[in-house]
Structure 1
Amino acid sequence: MSKKNQQLFETIYKQCYPMVLQMCLGYMKGDADLANDLSQEVFINIWNAMESFMGKSSHKTWVYRITVNTCLQYIRKEKKKKKVSIEKVEYALTEESSESSSDQNQSLYHAIGTLEELDRLLIMMVLDGQDYDTISEVMGIKPTNVRVKIHRVKRRLKKILDNE
């Protein structure tokens, strides 16, 4: 890999790591260890794809797509396994017994994890502070549709959180 691509990768890593981690947290329903592992996987995929980046979109949009695809690929692979470890069950039980702001964050990420894939992507981008134009570009929909979808997803999340 060229020196220029190595420097570009380092810049992308520094700028996008918090966003990638937050999206992974959303997809992994708040499991920080799994989100960290998945974030590393995302940057491995970015490293491997650096030379094939065509520049048709911004680097940030490209990183979003790689993050989403990596998370979805992981979820699909895990669905095929269909097993629940005892550690996850114990973790879930201990999480329900304590009340704190991290528990609220955990509840939010869990609720986000119950949404459909595109809705998860949308709400994670909103939480990341992305503007409607960026969200529109990543999702391939018009900015006006983004507003409507955000409103609907927020209502769905409120229902999920109120019922828990």
Structure 2
Amino acid sequence: MIPEQQFEEIYNENYHKVIGLCLGYVNGDEDIAKDLTQEVFIKVWENLKTFRNEASISTWIYRIAINTCFQQSRKKKFLPLTIDVPDEVGEEKFPTEKRYHNMYACINQLSEINKSIILLELQDIPQKEISNIIGISYEALRIRIHRIKNQLSKCVQNERL
């Protein structure tokens, strides 16, 4: 397969996963997420010939995406997500959207590594693949995910992390 076709296939298979991860890092700012996603795929294109098949291509791309998002979050701190919906309308018409925004606001309070873990988990990435992406054992990952979910539950219920 010629490199352009290979890259196009990789891009099509992984674009939605990468932009979903980036959106989580930038509090849903689509413009920044698209820029980060583009940066990720530029890095994939530039380094595709050095990919050694030691992990799956998607694991390798997630690692690039996480590193790219880490670098961006170090440069610029993103404001927590807020939703400005009047209470009388918000409680009746938008309860799911409000919970969704509250959850992501809580996720953004996590450490960078825990944030990466839960964003990958929310995208239904298999936990064994997440452990490879993050570089920790599967057992340690399972324990960490359990603790992260407990933290998020408390946060969403307006308790402190």
Give TM-score scaled by structure 1 length.
0.82
Counterpart residue type for residue 72 of structure 1: F
Counterpart residue type for residue 74 of structure 1: Q
The one-character-per-residue Cα deviations of 1:75-115 (angstroms, maximum 9, x if unpaired) are 11225xxxx8xxx79x94xx232532333322222221111
Q: List structure 1 runs of 4+ shifted beyond 3 angstroms.
A: none
The one-character-per-residue Cα deviations of 1:26-68 (angstroms, maximum 9, x if unpaired) are 1112222322222122112212222222222110010011000
**Structure 1 unaligned residues grouped into runs of 5+:** none
Alignment of 1:21-100 (within 5 A): 21-79=19-77, 92=82, 95-97=83-85, 99=90, 100=94
110-119 or 42-51: which moved more? 42-51
Q: Distance in 2 between matches of 1:75 and 1:11?
A: 29
Give the equivalent residue in structure 1 for 2:111: 116
Q: Distance in 2 between matches of 1:34 and 1:111?
A: 20
Picking from 123, 126, 133, the partner of 2:121 is 126
> Higher helix proportion, which one?
1
CA RMSD of aligned residues (A): 2.2
4-13 or 64-73: which moved more? 4-13
SS in 2 for 1:141: coil
Q: Distance in 1 between matches of 2:150 and 2:37?
A: 28
Task: Pick closer, same or farther for the CA change 1:102–1:36 going to 2, 3 Å.
Answer: farther
Give TM-score scaled by structure 2 length.
0.83
Give the equivalent residue in structure 1 for 2:3: 5
Q: Distance in 1 between matches of 2:34 and 2:43?
A: 14
* Percent of residue pairs bearing the same amino acid type: 37
Preserved contact between residue 63 and residue 134 of structure 2 (Cα < 8 Å): no
Q: Distance in 2 between matches of 1:104 and 1:42?
A: 30
Per-residue deviation at 1:4?
Answer: 2.1
Preserved contact between residue 22 and residue 33 of structure 2 (Cα < 8 Å): yes
Q: Distance in 1 between matches of 2:139 and 2:51?
A: 29
